[in-house]
Structure 1
């Protein structure tokens, strides 16, 4: 195809493959896709699919990564045209160079393939100069028919500059400096003043560039886990040893006062605001009632909290649902584990250990650490400006669902930090589960460990293996519980705690009988 030419696309699913010659010293290139409405802009940052956000929430667009063959390197994305949402009228196929410019890539070619048959639908061979970002082509809807246009537009200002033109937000710390766009192969635009865009060469492209920030090469992301946060002084007295085993039919234990008596004070609880302390007292009593119903009065356990921070969770964070969930789970930890702390993780594409939630610091913890994922247009070289030392840089957590990674990290923590009591993991997610085989492997391996995994689904979504784990055979004990609610804000504390704690006591009995506890 020539630059500017277009063809109809007969396939329902296509793969855009950018390839180049594999030569020593050549930079890498990453393909990405922008899903645009009739306005020519994205609806929000979630409409940008790239290496740090590898799948669109609709499932219609996926980043496939790099493939190498003798003498050739290729990077690709897949677009399921029939699954694109009704508002999406264009999918712009872009790329960014990591460690150099597109002019250093010989044999630069964009191919459009039928993903089902692998038949080549279009081939666009192009050249570039000093550009570090590139628009290879676009899929667009015209008269009810999807078409493909060869574009060949280069941006000297990098991926951040290109994405900004289409409505993607960029962090302030990444917005220092100026850049310009140019036609691929013609070099950077000339005569652009800082803060003003340089026009592309005449007839080179239908796109109007701006002057976004410039970036140099950046390394791979740093590890996800932040530096350990020391616990506040004074050190707290550990929880008492567990009650002796009991037979399957009687209660699990009976070593603490049951419902009807004032709940015991947890360390740090006296530091809470009065209204929060009242809510906590009431909730602890309701937790105790639920434990009594299930024959587990007085049971002790370490409680670990896991919070989904993938892109689809944004609304739940913004309206305060996640913060409310954390406060409600603090009552479970206060009733089951009286050391005043609850370990916590967040996850999306990667897991991150959050600072321990000390009960007396609950308001501050909610403010600092209950945060949804943030998109990073490039692989960040340094921490986001303005974060406190103990805060996780959520750009490194990403936005995709990778439950198996955080499950593995929590398992490793439990193995390295043994306690006399069992561990209860409270895992909250709105679904989008797709790593079913890896998740199943992790949870099957965890059967012999003193951990019960309680998953809670927040809304109507795809929970994959999690919601069918109870029926999976071949486990000595059932170490996984799952339930989903349409709107957890409308679920009463009594109902929530009943459902949350219904299977945990059964597991304790089974695990004791099997010698796991």
Structure 2
């Protein structure tokens, strides 16, 4: 039974526990594309983060309390609907704003625009609001709001000539509807701007005293200038402003001085344990001097950690996976993620013969990144360590300003869908087998909610030559990842997990010890089970 239409500003109580807001309009020539959406707001009238915006490119809230159902066409009319489970919104949400946007025209060109509120269980109409517009390209049709412990609906009818971007910004959404220049990325790692200042250089075996004929180590002065004031990580000085007087890299003494412009290195077949130092990886000599020094110390620490766990002779393919969801924005902006990648490059340099890493990023969707080759580390960090971006408009065209190999982060989104990237990495390993096992280094700040799907993927991966090392970056709610060690029914334990509140403050020795503590044991168990 149809209800009498509400006047603008009118309200009524809503007793149904779940409702469907149905935006409808008439077909016709020149009618723009119309989309429904919803914003979840706190008592302050703002979203908590970009995940509180539900629309066509982010169709379900992480709580599953709000879902964009999509368009239908019947009887000369279009409908686009959003379903809201009022009892599942959680204590922090006090308003759900029901919005609409027009793409390719204004709402003045949309005939018969109406918003109906239906009982989701019975389909009964609870309210109807007929709207009129002129030059607006975004509209707030109505809102569900909590008053005195009871949900109510209000007919709003407020238009925005600035479009969906202007509407979303008013409620605290970070908008990226036009490409900035340059594209958002952590500051380029360079001698002038180190990515992070480690707490202290890790202990390494004392290097041999250089012979007078050897080329000098890094000069005592001048070193690369201190970071500019705009550097994201506040450090009073560059991490290696006063390097130890040791040749680079620390290796066994050479029989004769190396040719100018080259660096001494152990014989190709020598392991770190046998050579007394880390091996030189192709392209390493092209790195900025401060990055080379950090890498040298870190490779040595990786080798020490491997020896400590009885895995000095282990080789592995290394894959890195980076969470690019909206909640990671701060860690990207502060250079924390770029620093993590640089530290993981040392792991690949020790475990993988070519010192390269395959790489993925993910949020709502996964995206394969170009392989990280050690000599390209500074450019790779600049181009590919980028957070997800909320696309308010369907990305019909490739974003302008992207450099070769860069992912359009609008297509990645901002939500947490770990199971999708896990499945994609598994498929890659199956389709591109390697003689060595694969170590996946998976970094996320939490927000895990697809627990059943993630558990299914990782259980199925037990019979595959992959060890999954998850690292939590200090947020919370890691879901099933924290519980995997206690989950039975697996022939081998193929998953490791630890979290750290401030990974930039965790010294390299501790980081590599925690990172590599379970991988050698998995190799032994996987060999016994004939998985390897």
**TM-score between both structures, scaled by the size of structure 1:** 0.73
1:480 Cα deviation from its structure 2 partner: 1.4
User: What is the aligned partner in structure 2 of residue 226 from structure 1?
Assistant: none
Report 1:449-488 matches (<5 A). 449-488=464-503
Provide the C-alpha distance between the structure 2 equivalents of 1:474 and 1:120, rounded to a whole number of angstroms: 47
User: What is the aligned partner in structure 2 of residue 15 from structure 1?
Assistant: 19
Change in CA separation of 1:101 and 1:53 when aligned onto 2, cut-off 3 Å: same
User: What is the aligned partner in structure 2 of residue 432 from structure 1?
Assistant: 447
1:343 Cα deviation from its structure 2 partner: 0.8
Change in CA separation of 1:167 and 1:478 when aligned onto 2, cut-off 3 Å: closer
User: What is the aligned partner in structure 1 of residue 437 from structure 2?
Assistant: 422
1:162 Cα deviation from its structure 2 partner: 3.8
Provide the C-alpha distance between the structure 2 equivalents of 1:55 and 1:388, rounded to a whole number of angstroms: 31
Change in CA separation of 1:357 and 1:60 when aligned onto 2, cut-off 3 Å: same
> Any idea what the Cα deviations from partners look like across 1:145-183, whole Å, max 9, x if unmatched?
6532112345676534543555645446379xxxxxxxx
User: What is the aligned partner in structure 2 of residue 489 from structure 1?
Assistant: 504
Aligned with 1:374: secondary structure? coil
Provide the C-alpha distance between the structure 1 equivalents of 2:490 and 2:296, rounded to a whole number of angstroms: 38
Aligned with 1:459: secondary structure? strand
Say whether residues 1:91 and 2:87 are aligned partners: no
Provide the C-alpha distance between the structure 1 equivalents of 2:86 and 2:45, rounded to a whole number of angstroms: 20
Aligned length: 436
2:457 is matched with which residue: 421, 442, 445? 442
User: What is the aligned partner in structure 2 of residue 212 from structure 1?
Assistant: none
Say whether residues 1:78 and 2:93 are aligned partners: no
8 Å Cα contact 1:20/1:105 also seen in 2: no
Report 1:211-360 matches (<5 A). 256-258=271-273, 261-360=276-375
Change in CA separation of 1:480 and 1:45 when aligned onto 2, cut-off 3 Å: closer
Change in CA separation of 1:440 and 1:486 when aligned onto 2, cut-off 3 Å: same
User: What is the aligned partner in structure 2 of residue 2 from structure 1?
Assistant: 6
1:411 Cα deviation from its structure 2 partner: 1.3
Aligned with 2:499: secondary structure? strand
Change in CA separation of 1:467 and 1:269 when aligned onto 2, cut-off 3 Å: same
Provide the C-alpha distance between the structure 2 equivalents of 1:105 and 1:444, rounded to a whole number of angstroms: 52
1:402 Cα deviation from its structure 2 partner: 0.8
Provide the C-alpha distance between the structure 1 equivalents of 2:270 and 2:503, rounded to a whole number of angstroms: 32
User: What is the aligned partner in structure 2 of residue 134 from structure 1?
Assistant: 139
Say whether residues 1:124 and 2:128 are aligned partners: yes
1:5 Cα deviation from its structure 2 partner: 0.9
8 Å Cα contact 2:56/2:70 also seen in 1: no
8 Å Cα contact 2:54/2:68 also seen in 1: no
> Any idea what the Cα deviations from partners look like across 1:375-409, whole Å, max 9, x if unmatched?
11011121222221211111110001111111111
Provide the C-alpha distance between the structure 1 equivalents of 2:330 and 2:397, rounded to a whole number of angstroms: 27
> Any idea what the Cα deviations from partners look like across 1:423-480, whole Å, max 9, x if unmatched?
1000011111111222122222222221111111112411222222223233222211
8 Å Cα contact 2:58/2:415 also seen in 1: yes
Aligned with 2:476: secondary structure? coil
Aligned with 1:360: secondary structure? helix
8 Å Cα contact 2:383/2:406 also seen in 1: yes
User: What is the aligned partner in structure 2 of residue 503 from structure 1?
Assistant: 518
1:55 Cα deviation from its structure 2 partner: 5.1
Change in CA separation of 1:385 and 1:69 when aligned onto 2, cut-off 3 Å: closer
Provide the C-alpha distance between the structure 2 equivalents of 1:83 and 1:111, rounded to a whole number of angstroms: 17
> Any idea what the Cα deviations from partners look like across 1:222-280, whole Å, max 9, x if unmatched?
xxxxxxxxxxxxxxxxxx99xxxxxxxxxxxx972328812111111111122211111
8 Å Cα contact 1:18/1:109 also seen in 2: yes
Say whether residues 1:49 and 2:49 are aligned partners: no
8 Å Cα contact 1:268/1:340 also seen in 2: no
User: What is the aligned partner in structure 1 of residue 248 from structure 2?
Assistant: none
For structure 2, the 5+ residue unaligned runs are 181-266
Change in CA separation of 1:510 and 1:84 when aligned onto 2, cut-off 3 Å: closer
Change in CA separation of 1:260 and 1:514 when aligned onto 2, cut-off 3 Å: same
Provide the C-alpha distance between the structure 1 equivalents of 2:475 and 2:46, rounded to a whole number of angstroms: 28
8 Å Cα contact 2:6/2:127 also seen in 1: no
**TM-score between both structures, scaled by the size of structure 2:** 0.72
8 Å Cα contact 2:50/2:414 also seen in 1: no
8 Å Cα contact 1:306/1:345 also seen in 2: yes
Provide the C-alpha distance between the structure 1 equivalents of 2:70 and 2:531, rounded to a whole number of angstroms: 43
8 Å Cα contact 1:29/1:75 also seen in 2: no
Change in CA separation of 1:255 and 1:264 when aligned onto 2, cut-off 3 Å: closer
Aligned with 1:344: secondary structure? strand
> Any idea what the Cα deviations from partners look like across 1:67-95, whole Å, max 9, x if unmatched?
87997955214265785676x66432112
Change in CA separation of 1:82 and 1:445 when aligned onto 2, cut-off 3 Å: closer
Aligned with 2:273: secondary structure? coil
Aligned with 1:388: secondary structure? coil
1:361 Cα deviation from its structure 2 partner: 1.6
Change in CA separation of 1:302 and 1:29 when aligned onto 2, cut-off 3 Å: same
For structure 1, the 5+ residue unaligned runs are 176-239, 242-253
8 Å Cα contact 1:255/1:299 also seen in 2: no
